[in-house]
Amino acid sequence: MRRWIVTALDALGLGPRPTRIRMGPEFVGVVEATLADIPDIVELELPVFREHREYHPGDFQQPMNAPMIADFYRQVMFDDDWGIAVFVADRSTIGYVAWTAYEQFEGRHALIHSIAVNEAGRRRGIARALLAFAETQADARGLASIRANVWAHNEASRAFFASNGFYPVAQLMGRSIRAE
Ligand SMILES: CC(C)(COP(=O)(O)OP(=O)(O)OC[C@H]1O[C@@H](n2cnc3c(N)ncnc32)[C@H](O)[C@@H]1OP(=O)(O)O)[C@@H](O)C(=O)NCCC(=O)NCCS
């Protein structure tokens, strides 16, 4: 219901405005995302999506564009099962994380939907800070574990999660049936 009201208000241009108070231009850190962050999140996500599509065209057949990604984040931003945070420095958004609660068998976990840092900001601990924020949010919502689906080709992502204590929980194995 809350999500419907927020979406309706947003569509009318009356949605919640950013309530975050940034402490001057020097603010550096992770904050919960607002609707105002969606364009930056889209900019960070589009190249990641394109890269994934290049490696796995069969999994990403629908073309994805900025308005579609923006729409997706507008839908989930006020969903209690979702958490979205951005890393801000000097009023620019350098990275973001989005996670969702999900159920597997009888367990309820946090699943990282997406995490990305712009190229210039990498290897400075920004994704680590975003992950820690997501973990705190997930903990506050009573979830006991945090997981991520990582494409096997994505070495940076695998190394990132491994360096943050993630270990393989299950492995999805596969091969093509038809010659491509
Ligand atoms: C994966 C990604 C989010 C990591 O962001 P980051 O801010 O550079 O990561 P951090 O600086 O917090 O890295 C923490 C640790 O993870 C490991 N790590 C991160 N990137 C790595 C890489 N490219 N190669 C090897 N180890 C890496 C390192 O141990 C690193 O610590 P160190 O720098 O002290 O050695 C970033 O590379 C990215 O945005 N990639 C494109 C998007 C993507 O593929 N996202 C994941 C799938 S949704």
Residue type at 175? Answer: R
- Ligand 1 pocket, residues with Cβ under 6 angstroms: 48, 114-117, 122-128, 154, 156-157, 159-160, 163
The radius of gyration of the chain's CA atoms, rounded to the nearest angstrom, is 17
Mean pLDDT of the chain: 87
- Closest residue to atom 38 of ligand 1, CA basis: 116
> What average pLDDT does range 50-78 have in this prediction?
90
Whether pLDDT at 7 is above 70: no
Tell if the pTM clears 0.85, that is, is over it: yes
For residues 115 and 126, give the distance between their C-alpha atoms in angstroms, rounded to a whole number. Answer: 10
The CA dihedral of 19, 138, 86, 63, to the nearest 10 degrees, is -110
Nearest ligand 1 atom to alpha carbon 52: 44
Q: Which residues of 68-100 are buried (b: 16+ CB within 10 A; e: fewer)?
A: ebbebbbebbbeeebbbbbbbbeeebbbbbbbb
Write out pLDDT tens, residues 17-54. Answer: 334 445 555 789 999 999 999 999 999 999 999 998 88
Which domains, and CATH codes, for the chain?
2-163 (3.40.630.30)
Residue 14 has pLDDT above 90, yes or no: no
Residue 3 pLDDT grade (very low, low, confident, very high; cuts 50, 70, 90) = very low
Query: Could you tell me the strand order of the sheet in which 107-117 lies?
Result: 28-32, 82-89, 92-104, 107-117, 146-148
Q: How far apart are CA 103 and CA 177, in angstroms?
A: 30
With 0-12 / 13-18 / 19 or more C-beta atoms within 10 angstroms meaning exposed / middle / buried, residue 115 is buried
Structure tokens at 18: 């950013």
Taking the C-alpha atoms of residue 137 and residue 33, their distance in angstroms, rounded to an integer, is 13
The model's pLDDT over 115-155, given as tens digits with 9 standing for 90+, comes to: 999 999 999 999 999 999 999 999 999 999 999 999 999 99
Atom of ligand 1 nearest to the CA of 129: 12
Residue of 122, 133, 166 to mutate, ligand 1, most atoms within 8 A of C-beta? 122
